[in-house]
Chain A
C-alpha cells in the first residue's frame, strides 16, 4: 500500500517550457487535490477533483491545468512555466464521508523555473 505517489521528485524548467506532474493514489479515494507550498504562504490549493470526471479551481489556478485520468490518477500541467511557479507541489487524496474527512499527502515535487 503506497498511499499517494508523485513523479517526478525534482524538476528544473526554463521559462516557457511545459511539464506534467503525475499523481496516483491506491486508497480508493474519490477526491484528489493539488497544492503548492511556498515559504510563509502555507499550502495553497491549485485545483481539486471531488470525483472522477470533475475538476474545480482552487485558490491559485492561473497557469495550471489538471486532468483526472481515472479514479487513481490526477495530473497537473504547466503549459508555459514562469519563475513564479517555482515551488513545492503536493498531491493529496481524501475520502469525504460524514465520518471521515482527512487528507493524505504525497512526498512532493520540487520544481524550479529559471
Chain B
C-alpha cells in the first residue's frame, strides 16, 4: 500500500464551480500537510501548508486535515480557468527528512 493515495482524475469542471481535491494516507505519524499546484512543464508550486489538524483558508483556497480519518482535502471556490493544473498533496512526519507525495490530480476549469 502506498503511503499517500490520490485520485489522478482527470477532473473537469465549469468556471465558477467549487472543486474538491482529496488525498488519503496510511501513516499516522504525518503531521505536516501540503498542497502544490503544478502547471504544465513547470515545477510544483507550494499552494497551502497545514500543520496537524484543522482548516486553513487563503483566498479562494481552503485546506482541511482530518487526522482521525487520515484524509486531507483542498477546496477551490469560484474556480477559474487559471486554476487548470495538476494538484499534488504532500505530507511529512516530525521525524525523518522525507516528504511523501500523491501522484497528483489533473484539473481543467472550462470557461
Contacts and interface: CB of A to CB of B under 8 A. Distances in A.
Task: Report, as a range, how many residues of chain B touch the other chain.
Answer: 20 to 34
Task: Report, as a range, how many residues of chain A touch the other chain.
Answer: 20 to 34
B42 A108 contact: yes
Interface in A22-64: 31, 33, 40-43, 45, 48, 50, 56, 58
Nearest to A91: B43
Contacts of B41: 108, 110
Nearest to B92: A101
B94 to A, nearest CB: 7
Given A31-B97, A103-B99, 11 more contacts: A45-B98, A48-B97, A48-B98, A101-B51, A105-B36, A105-B43, A105-B45, A107-B42, A108-B41, A108-B43, A110-B41
11 contacts: A40-B8, A42-B88, A43-B88, A48-B97, A58-B98, A101-B31, A101-B32, A102-B32, A105-B44, A105-B46, A108-B43
